Amino acid sequence: MHILVCVKQVPDTTEIKMDPITNTMDRSTAPTIINPFDAHAVEEAVQIKKQMGGKVSIISMGPPQAQEVIKKCIEMGADEGYLLSDRAFAGSDTLSTSYILAMGIKKVMDKDPIDLVFCGKQAIDGDTAQVGPGIACRLGMPQLTYVEDIESFDLERNVVVLHRKIDNGYEVVQSKLPCLITVEKDINELSFSPLTNMIKAARYKPIAWGINDFESDLSQLGLKGSPTSVRRIFPPAQRAGGELLEGSEDKVVKTLVDKLKGGILQWQI
């Protein structure tokens, strides 16, 4: 079984800061990490490989330094990695990103057919949850989102049975292979990497592909292929301190009712 996992390098949002002058994210102050949802997708792919055999490939789009997240995946147990990196990809929104990744996946499939594509549910820097489904649409694959458990594979019938997370529980879904799955964090627990994997990752060099390595429509790349753009990122305003009402009960109640009426009137206007 050949499983391909899409991963993204993201800023660590626990240490991120905002530039008070430009109101934009100051990426220089935050270390980069593998997107947490993607890490669980890699873990699931590696666990399936251990049970059923096969190999796990990684693909990522980003600047040259994004090779570090691919190395992290090799450390986790993946076998090979592909980095899609080109200045022409800069500024891509989710629509353009899904196009570029789909082109890269098709190139991988040309030399080695893929049975499963894994993605994290969403990236923590954008929170759109759009790229995985976008890739599935472009590849013509069934998409199964918000997956929290993979119940079984039947390779004779070429199907997978899994659980999709919904508001009040989960639903059991069966799909033909190949398909694309986006995973929740609770699908597994991340395991520790053995020393041999760490050594392999330290020496590993991902296969790098740019715009000249596959046929693509230039109008769908980067800013030209992105109908949406982020104009500004800013932190929410801090809440002001509460107002303490003093006086007799009747006075406090009257003041509170007046303030509530004023707020309702303002909202209606």
CB atoms within 10 A of CB 227: 8
Answer whether residue 19 shows pLDDT above 90: no
pLDDT 10s digits, 182-221: 999 999 999 999 999 999 999 999 999 999 998 888 899 9
pLDDT of residue 82: 97
- Residue 25 clears pLDDT 70, i.e. is over it: no
Quote the mean pLDDT of the chain: 89
Q: What is the pLDDT of residues 67-126, one digit of tens each?
A: 999 999 999 999 999 999 999 998 899 999 999 999 999 999 999 999 999 999 999 988
CA distance 186 to 189: 7
Dist. CA 123–CA 131, nearest whole Å: 9
Per-residue pLDDT, 99 = 96
How many residues would you count in the chain? 269
Considering only the C-alpha atoms of the chain, give the largest distance between any 2 of them, rounded to a whole number of Å.
81
User: What domains can be seen in the chain, in order of their start residue?
Assistant: 2-220 (3.40.50.620)
Other beta carbons less than 10 A from residue 55's beta carbon: 14
CA distances (Å), 202 to each of 4, 40, 41, 67, in order? Answer: 21, 21, 21, 11
